[in-house]
Amino acid sequence: MKFNYKGKYFTGIVILSLLFSSCNKFVQVAPPVNQVVSSVVFSSNQTATAAVVGLYSQMMRSSMYFMNGAMTLYPALSSDELYNTSPNANIDPFTDNAIPVTSSIIQNNIWRNAYSFIYQANACLEGISQSGGIDKSGGNELMGELKFSRALCYFYLTNLFGNVPLELSTDYKVNEKMPRTPESEVYGQIISDLQDASKLLNGNYVSSDRARPNKWAAVALLARAYLYQKQWKEADSAASAVIGSGEYQLENNLNNVFLSGSSEAIWQLMPVAPYSNTAEGQYFIPSSSSVRPSYAITSFLLSAFEPGDLRKTNWLDSTVNNGKTYYYPYKYKVRSGSNA
C-alpha cells in the first residue's frame, strides 16, 4: 500500500534547543545558524548523546505524527483494519483511499515530520564525525543509533510513497534540488545504513527501558528490509540472529507484550508529553466505558480471528454505545499517564 501524493514541505531541526531555521522549497533546509553551534553540541560524549536523545524526544513530541502513532493509524485506515466512527474531512480520505494532494496529515504529520528527523540525524552524524572531543567507542555507538533511525524513517517513507528524495547530508543547496530517488536505491541505502548500524552498535541496551536502539534493533529492521526486497536467505539469516541473540523471550501473558519492560520489546520510545503514554492508547481507548471509540476495528479484521484466538481476547476490547458494539485496539492498556 502506498499513499499517492506529491508535495513540498518545510523541515527543520532542534538540537539541545538550538534551532536550525527552515525554508519553503522542496526538500530545502537552511544552513546552520553558525558553525560554532555544532562544535559546542558535539564537543563531548555527554553533549553529543544529549543531541541524539533529543532526536528521540522530537519523535515523541506530538501524537499521531510520523513516529508517534501515525504509522499505526493511517495505514490501518487505508487497509480496512480500522474505521473512523464519526465523519471527519481530514480522516475520511484515508478510509476511502482518496487522499488529496492538499492533505495536511500527509504534508505535516508524515512527510514534513519524517524529513525533520532525517535532517536531525544527518546533522548529528556530521557533527559527530567532525568532532575531536568524542571518543571512538562513544562516537560509534551514537552513529549506529543515528544510522538506524535514518534507515527506519526511510523504510516507512518509501513503503508509503515509493520514490522519495534521499537526503544524506544537511547541505541545503543539494537538498533543495533533490529529486525523488528510485525506491530500489532508497532500499539500498536503508540496507547499507542498517549493516553499518549493526556493526557500530553494542548488543546490550544502554538502559533497562530499551529506549535507545541496540545492535539487534538494527538487525531486526535489516531482516524486515531484506524481506520486503524478497531477499529471503538474507532475511532468514538476520531474523535468526535476533532470535538466537538471547536478548528476547516470549511473554507468557499476552497482556504484557506491549507494556514497558516487555521481554519481547526491541525498541521502545519513551513518552515525553505530560499526562500521556502512547498515542495509540490515547486515541484508541475511549475515555469511559459508555463512550464510542474514535476508531473501531472493521468487521473485515474481526472476521479474520479464529475462535479462541488469544490476540482477539487480549489485544482488542469493546464498548457498547447506543446499542451498537464497537471493538477497538487494546494492545496499549493505558489511555493517559501522570506528569511524574
Q: Looking at the structure, do residues 133 and 89 belong to the same domain, yes or no?
A: yes
Q: Looking at the structure, do residues 302 and 248 belong to the same domain, yes or no?
A: no
Note whether residue 268 is domain-resident: no
Q: Looking at the structure, do residues 107 and 147 belong to the same domain, yes or no?
A: yes
Give the domain-ending residue among 197, 221, 256. 256
Note whether residue 336 is domain-resident: no
Q: Looking at the structure, do residues 251 and 286 belong to the same domain, yes or no?
A: no
Note whether residue 241 is domain-resident: yes
Q: Looking at the structure, do residues 247 and 289 belong to the same domain, yes or no?
A: no
pLDDT at 2: 58
Q: Looking at the structure, do residues 182 and 305 belong to the same domain, yes or no?
A: no
Sole residue written with cell 535489516: 222
Residue 234's CB is within 10 A of a number of other CB atoms, namely: 16
Give the domain-ending residue among 241, 256, 271. 256
The rounded average pLDDT for each run of 10 residues, N- to C-terminus, in the chain (340 residues) is 40 34 43 53 94 94 94 97 96 96 96 96 96 95 99 98 97 93 98 99 94 98 99 99 97 94 94 83 93 97 97 97 96 71
pLDDT at 25: 42
In this prediction the pTM is: 0.88
Picking from 174, 233, 211, the residue whose alpha carbon sits closest to that of residue 54 is 211
Q: Could you tell me the residue range of the domain that residue 289 belongs to?
A: 279-329
Sole residue written with cell 489511555: 335
DSSP-assigned beta bridge partners for residue 10: 28
Give the C-alpha separation, 145 to 331, whole Å. Answer: 27
Q: Looking at the structure, do residues 230 and 321 belong to the same domain, yes or no?
A: no
DSSP 8-state class, residue 256: G
Q: Looking at the structure, do residues 190 and 325 belong to the same domain, yes or no?
A: no
Q: Looking at the structure, do residues 319 and 212 belong to the same domain, yes or no?
A: no
Picking from 155, 179, 176, the residue whose alpha carbon sits closest to that of residue 166 is 179
User: Contact, 324 vs 330, CB < 8 A?
Assistant: no
Please give the helix or strand (H or E) that residue 307 lies within, else none.
none
Note whether residue 47 is domain-resident: yes
Count of structural domains within the chain = 2
Sole residue written with cell 531482516: 223
C-alpha cell at 326: 464497537
pLDDT at 40: 85
Return the CATH number at 142: 1.25.40.390
Note whether residue 339 is domain-resident: no
pLDDT at 105: 97
Note whether residue 146 is domain-resident: yes
Q: Looking at the structure, do residues 284 and 228 belong to the same domain, yes or no?
A: no
